[in-house]
C-alpha cells in the first residue's frame, strides 16, 4: 500500500455479542460534503465549530462511520473493539453548548479512542482484548477517562490492543487479541502495527479519530507510534493516574496521548495531570506537571541543546543508520551539540524488570478484578488462567505462559521482588539515565525508536529488529517519539527521552524537529 507525504506539515472479530456496539447505522445525520482531511488537527476542528462549518454531531458521525468502514470493513484494520453507543447523544448535548456559545475545554468535541484496557463509564466493556472479559463493564470512569470528558472529549470507543498489553505469552504477534483479532498496519495491511497500543496508533494514523490514548509498560506507546507514523508521548510514571486501567506494572505503567502532531499530543497531555489519591505515583515528592504543555512548543527548541545520540540500537542496521544520519544533520543545523552514547544502563536491568513485571502483574490484576465486585467476569489471575486455557481461540496461536509464570510468584513482600525492584531502579536511574546525562551534561537523549513494520506472523510471532524504549520505560522516565522518515514507504520514528519530569524540554526538541522536517506521512486509504 502506497503512502503520501504531507508536504505542509477480525480476523475482524466483531463478535456477535459486540455487534450492537461495533456497528453504527449510516443515517444521513452528517452532510455528504463533510469529509475531514486525514491530517485534521484539534485547532482545525475547533475553528470549524466556531465558524459554524460543522457541528459536533456531524464530526462525531463522520468518525463513527469511518471507524466502522475501515476497522470492520474495507481494509479491515481491526483497530477498534467497540464503538460507544452513547457518542451521538454526547455530541448532541455539546451542540446545545455550541448554540449557547459555551464551547469549553481544550478537547471540546474532539473524538478520542481509548485503548481497551482503560475503564470508561460508557456502555462498553473493558476487556484488555481477552475473551474472558467480553462482558466486563466497569461501573465508573477511570480518572484518565474522567479528565478527558471534563476537557470536552468525546470517547468514540475502545481500541484493539495486544491482549493483556502483550504480557501473556512467551512469544506473540503485536496487535493480536483473542477478542479483537489482529490489528493491521494502515501503510501495508500485511505488516504489523506493533503493540500493545496498536489499535490506538492505527486509529490516529488512519484518521479514525483525532487523538487516542495508549498505555506503555515498555514500548507500547512508542513502538506503535513508530510503526504507524504518529506522535506518541510516554510520560514520566506518575504524571497520569493509572487507577481504572488494567495493569501490568505499578512501577512502569503509564497512559499517554497519541496524535498526528506534537501540538495535539501536548494539548491532550495537559488535561491528564490531576492528582489521584488512589495512585501514589501521582502524589510522590518532586512531581512536576503542567496543565498546558503547549507553552513549551518552541520552533527553535533545539538551539543550544546538548543532546546524547544513543548508538547501540542500530549498530549494523545500515539502512536505518542512513535515516538517522539525516536526523542528526538536522539537529546540528539547528544548533545542537550531539554527543555519542554507547550504552545507557547495564543489561541486568532488563532481567530485574521482567521479575518485577511478573510480581506486579499478579498483584495488579488481582486488585483490578477485585475492584469489579462480586459479579466480575474474572475473579482473579487463577480464574483467568482457567478460562483462557479452556478457550480454543485464545490458545490457537499463543501459550499464555506469562500468566502461569506470574501466578507462581509470591506477593509484593517477597525478598525476590524487593531486591529486583531496587536493582532495577538503581541500574536504570542512578547508574543509568541520570548518570549518563549528568556525566555528559546532556539536556536529552535521541535514538531511532524502532525498525520499520515487519510482516505479521501468527506462527512465529514478532520480528523486532531493534528498539530503544527500555531505558526510559524501565526507569519510569519520559519518552516522546515522532516521525523521522521512511524506508520503502514505511514510517520510522525518532525517540527523545531524558530524566524524570523533563517533558517540557523533550517537547521543545520534538516540536522543532517536527516543524523543520515535516516527516508525517498519511496512509492511502479510502
- Give 30's pLDDT tier (boundaries 50, 70, 90): very low
Query: Is residue 468 annotated as part of the catalytic site, yes or no?
Result: no
The whole-angstrom separation of Cα 276 and Cα 238 is 9
- Give 102's pLDDT tier (boundaries 50, 70, 90): confident
Which is more confident, 526 or 197? 197
E-strand ranges in 333-443 read: 337-341
Which whole number is the average pLDDT over 25-53? 78
Tracing cell 507462581 back to the chain, one arrives at 408
Contacts of 329 (CB under 8 A, 6+ apart): none
Catalytic residue among 57, 71, 115, 467: 115
Catalytic residue among 120, 196, 353, 495: 196
Catalytic residue among 142, 200, 220, 451: 220
The answer on pLDDT for 151 being more than 60 is yes
Total H helices, total E strands in the chain: 16, 15
The whole-angstrom separation of Cα 468 and Cα 449 is 5
The answer on pLDDT for 444 being more than 80 is yes
* Contact (CB, 8 A) for 493 and 450: yes
Which whole number is the average pLDDT over 297-312? 97
The answer on pLDDT for 119 being more than 70 is yes
The whole-angstrom separation of Cα 181 and Cα 199 is 11
The answer on pLDDT for 449 being more than 90 is yes
The whole-angstrom separation of Cα 177 and Cα 172 is 10
Beta bridge partners of 490: 487
Q: Average per-residue pLDDT in the chain?
A: 93
Which whole number is the average pLDDT over 420-441? 98
What pLDDT is recorded for position 406? 98
- Give the chain's domains with CATH numbers: 3-13+40-523 (3.90.1300.10)
Q: Classify 238 in phi/psi space as left (phi over 0), alpha (psi -120 to 50) or beta.
A: left
Query: Is residue 196 annotated as part of the catalytic site, yes or no?
Result: yes
What pLDDT is recorded for position 8? 33
C-alpha of 216 from chain center: 6
- Give 26's pLDDT tier (boundaries 50, 70, 90): very low
What pLDDT is recorded for position 466? 95
Which whole number is the average pLDDT over 206-210? 97
Query: Is residue 115 annotated as part of the catalytic site, yes or no?
Result: yes
What pLDDT is recorded for position 34? 83
The answer on pLDDT for 11 being more than 80 is no
The answer on pLDDT for 81 being more than 90 is yes
Buried b (16+ CB within 10 A) or exposed e, 436-447: bbeeeebbbbbb
The whole-angstrom separation of Cα 306 and Cα 339 is 7
The answer on pLDDT for 475 being more than 50 is yes
E-strand ranges in 217-269 read: 231-234, 254-259
- Give 309's pLDDT tier (boundaries 50, 70, 90): very high
The answer on pLDDT for 27 being more than 70 is no
Which whole number is the average pLDDT over 249-254? 98
Which whole number is the average pLDDT over 156-164? 98
Amino acid at each position: 500500500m502506497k503512502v503520501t507525504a504531507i508536504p505542509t506539515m477480525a480476523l475482524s472479530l466483531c463478535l456477535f455479542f459486540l455487534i450492537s456496539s461495533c456497528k453504527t447505522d449510516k443515517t444521513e445525520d452528517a452532510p455528504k460534503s463533510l469529509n475531514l482531511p486525514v491530517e485534521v488537527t484539534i485547532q482545525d476542528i475547533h475553528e470549524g465549530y466556531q465558524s459554524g462549518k460543522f457541528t459536533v454531531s456531524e464530526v462525531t458521525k463522520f468518525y463513527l462511520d469511518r471507524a466502522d468502514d475501515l476497522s470492520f470493513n474495507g481494509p479491515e484494520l481491526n483497530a477498534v473493539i467497540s464503538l460507544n453507543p452513547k457518542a451521538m447523544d454526547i455530541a448532541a448535548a455539546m451542540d446545545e453548548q455550541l448554540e449557547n456559545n459555551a464551547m469549553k475545554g481544550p478537547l471540546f468535541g474532539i473524538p478520542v479512542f481509548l485503548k481497551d484496557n482503560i475503564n470508561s463509564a460508557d456502555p462498553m466493556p473493558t476487556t484488555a482484548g481477552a475473551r474472558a472479559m467480553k462482558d466486563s463493564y466497569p461501573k465508573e470512569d477511570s480518572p484518565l477517562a474522567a479528565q478527558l470528558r471534563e476537557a470536552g472529549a468525546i470517547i468514540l470507543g475502545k481500541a484493539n490492543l495486544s491482549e493483556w498489553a502483550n504480557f501473556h505469552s512467551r512469544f506473540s504477534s503485536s496487535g493480536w487479541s483473542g477478542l479483537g483479532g489482529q490489528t493491521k498496519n494502515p501503510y501495508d495491511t500485511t505488516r504489523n502495527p506493533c503493540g500493545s497500543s496498536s489499535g490506538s496508533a492505527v486509529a490516529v494514523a488512519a484518521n479514525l479519530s483525532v487523538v487516542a490514548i495508549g498505555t506503555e509498560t515498555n514500548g507500547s506507546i512508542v513502538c506503535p507510534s513508530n510503526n504507524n507514523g504518529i506522535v506518541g508521548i510516554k510520560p514520566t510514571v506518575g504524571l497520569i493516574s493509572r487507577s481504572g486501567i488494567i495493569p501490568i506494572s505499578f512501577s512502569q505503567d503509564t497512559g499517554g496521548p497519541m496524535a498526528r502532531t506534537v501540538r495535539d499530543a501536548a494539548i491532550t497531555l495537559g488535561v491528564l495531570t490531576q492528582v489521584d489519591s488512589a495512585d501514589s505515583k501521582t502524589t510522590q515528592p518532586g512531581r512536576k506537571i503542567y496543565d498546558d504543555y503547549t507553552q513549551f512548543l518552541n520552533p527553535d527548541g533545539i538551539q543550544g541543546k546538548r543532546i546524547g545520540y544513543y548508538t547501540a540500537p542500530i549498530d549494523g542496521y545500515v539502512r536505518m543508520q542512513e535515516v538517522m544520519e539525516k536526523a542528526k544533520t538536522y539537529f546540528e543545523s539547528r544548533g545542537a551539540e550531539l554527543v555519542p552514547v554507547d550504552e545507557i544502563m547495564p543489561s541486568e536491568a532488563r532481567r530485574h524488570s521482567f521479575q518485577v513485571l511478573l510480581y506486579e502483574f499478579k498483584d495488579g490484576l488481582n486488585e483490578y478484578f477485585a475492584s469489579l465486585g462480586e459479579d466480575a467476569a474474572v475473579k482473579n489471575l487463577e480464574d483467568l488462567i482457567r478460562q483462557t486455557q479452556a478457550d480454543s481461540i485464545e490458545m490457537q496461536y499463543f501459550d499464555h505462559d506469562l500468566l502461569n509464570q506470574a501466578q507462581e510468584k509470591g506477593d509484593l513482600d517477597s525478598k525476590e521482588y524487593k531486591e529486583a525492584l531496587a536493582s532495577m531502579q538503581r541500574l536504570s536511574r542512578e547508574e543509568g539515565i541520570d548518570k549518563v546525562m549528568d556525566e555528559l551534561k546532556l539536556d536529552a537523549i535521541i535514538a531511532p525508536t524502532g525498525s520499520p513494520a515487519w510482516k505479521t506472523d501468527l506462527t512465529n510471532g514478532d520480528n523486532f529488529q531493534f528498539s530503544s524504549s527500555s531505558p526510559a520505560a524501565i526507569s519510569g522516565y519520559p519518552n516522546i517519539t515522532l516521525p523521522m522518515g521512511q524506508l520503502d514507504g514505511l514510517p520510522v520514528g525518532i525517540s527523545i527521552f531524558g530524566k524524570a519530569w523533563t517533558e517540557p524540554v523533550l517537547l521543545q526538541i520534538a516540536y522543532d524537529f517536527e516543524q523543520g522536517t515535516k516527516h508525517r506521512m498519511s496512509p492511502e486509504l479510502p
